[in-house]
Amino acid sequence: MSVNTKMSGVLRKCINAARNHILIFEIINLIVIFVFFYVGYGIGSGRIIINLPWSNIKSINANLPNNLDYTTVNEVYQALKNNYDGNMTTTELLNGLKHGLASSLGDPYTVYFTSSEAQQFNNELNNTFSGIGAELSQTKNGDLEIISPIKGSPAEKAGLQPQDIITAINGKSTAGLSLDGAVNLIRGQAGTKVVLSVLRNSNQNLNISITRQDIVIPSVNWKIINGNIGYMEISTFANDTSSLALQAANDFKTNHVKGVILDLRNDPGGLLSAAINVSSLWLKPNQLILQEKRGSTVVDSYFAIGDDVLHGLPTVVLINSGSASASEITTGALHDQGDAYVIGQKSFGKGVVQQLINFPDGSQLKVTVAKWYRPDGQNINHNGINPDQTVSLTSQDISANNDTQLTAAENYLAKY
C-alpha cells in the first residue's frame, strides 16, 4: 500500500482547508544503504493518493443495493464458531470482514485500516516513528553496524556511536539476523526500553539500555554545493515539507545560486498540498500542476499559488523507480511547464487518487476514486515518468560513493 502527497502562508492554509489530499506509497528499494530502526518510516504496501470525500460526484456503483445480504456470511461464521479449534473474537472477525470487503476489489490501493493501523499510516506519512533514532546498515560479513545516531535522539543520548556493532538485542544474538529482522526487534512503543549489546572498537563489549521515543525526521534537507548550486532533497511530502522547502528556496536566493538540483529519488510521496506548494516555488501563479478525472470528466484542477522564488533558475529534478505519487506530480509539473530538466531513471508510476474516509471508531477506508493527469495530459499510472536523460546508479557506484546521477545533474548545470 502506500499513499499518494506543509505549508506556510495564507494561500497554503486555504489549500489545506479546501482539501487535504494525501499521497503516500511503499518503496521497496533494491539497495539498502541504511534504514531507520523503525521500519514504518516510508514503508507501506503501495503508492497512493488520498482525497477527502467528494459529495458532488455520483458513484458509478449506484446500482448496487443499499445493504448486502449477509446470509451466506453468517453461514460461514456459524461454521467457524462451531468448528474452529482456537480462540476467536468478535472484533477480529469484524475487522476481517472489513479488510476483506476492501481487498475483494482487487485494487492494491483500496485498503481498510483499523484504528491502530490508521495511526501507524499517519505516522509514516509524516516521518514520525517510535524508536531509538539511529541509522543501521549490514556489512558484507553480516554484522549489524550503526551508521550514526540521529542528533538529539535517544540513541545519541544513551551513548550509541558510529561503527558500533550490535551483537544482541534484548539478549537475543543478532548472528544470522537480517536488517529488517533487527529493525523489528529494536522498534517499539514510546516509553519502553530496548537493550543493545554492542561491540566497540573490536575489543569493548557494552550493554546499552535505550528508552524509545516518538521521533520526527525533517522531510527536507538542503545545502549549497560546488559554490553556486542549490541542492534540495525531499525524502517525503509531509506536514513540514512546504515550510522547509520555502526556507531552502529563500536560502538559495540569498546565496545567488545559479541553478538548483531537486532530489526526489526514493521519495514515496505524501501530501498533495505539499506537492502543490513545492511546485509553486518554480511555477508562475495559476500555471496548471495537475487535473483529476473520473473517466473523461475533470473533477478537480490544481494550479500554482505563488511564492515562485526559484522561477527562471535552471533546475534539474532527480528521480528513480522509488519516486512516486507527490514526487511524480512535482516532477511532471516542473517538466511539462518547462521549468526543469529530469535526470535519473523512470519513476514508479502511481497515477490514481484515493479518498480517505474516517469512521467514528478511528478506523479509515482508503479507496480509489479517480486518476490524476500531468499538465501535458498524460496519466502516468503503471508507466511512470521517463527522464530526459537516463543515468543508472549501480550497487557498485553506491558502495564506491559515486553518485553518477548527481554528477550528471551538476554537469548539466555547469553550462549555465
Residue from 132, 137, 193 nearest 159 by CA: 132
Q: Chain centroid to CA 392: how far?
A: 22
Q: Annotated catalytic, 339?
A: no
Partners of 23 in the β-ladder: 49
Give the Cα separation of 61 and 204 in Å (integer). Answer: 66
Q: Annotated catalytic, 325?
A: yes
Question: Three-state SS for 106?
Answer: coil
Distances (CA, A) of 225 to 236, 247, 339, 342, 400: 22, 17, 20, 19, 20
Pairing mode, strands 288-294 and 364-373: antiparallel
Give the Cα separation of 334 and 349 in Å (integer). Answer: 17
Helices (H), 255-377: 272-279, 326-336
Catalytic residue among 273, 300, 350, 366: 350
Using an 8 Å Cβ cutoff, are 317 and 334 in contact? yes
Give the Cα separation of 238 and 272 in Å (integer). Answer: 9
DSSP of 186-242: H---TT-EEEEEEEETTTEEEEEEEE-EEEE--SEEEEEETTTEEEEEES-B-TTHH
At 211, the amino acid letter reads T
Helices (H), 280-394: 326-336
Give the Cα separation of 270 and 127 in Å (integer). Answer: 10
Q: Could you tell me the three cell numbers for 380?
A: 502516468
Catalytic residue among 336, 339, 347, 366: 336
Using an 8 Å Cβ cutoff, are 260 and 314 in contact? yes
Using an 8 Å Cβ cutoff, are 286 and 304 in contact? yes
Give the Cα separation of 413 and 416 in Å (integer). Answer: 6
Residue from 88, 106, 23, 66 nearest 352 by CA: 23
Give the Cα separation of 241 and 7 in Å (integer). Answer: 7
Catalytic residue among 219, 242, 325, 347: 325
Q: Which residues participate in catalysis according to the annotation? A: 325, 336, 350
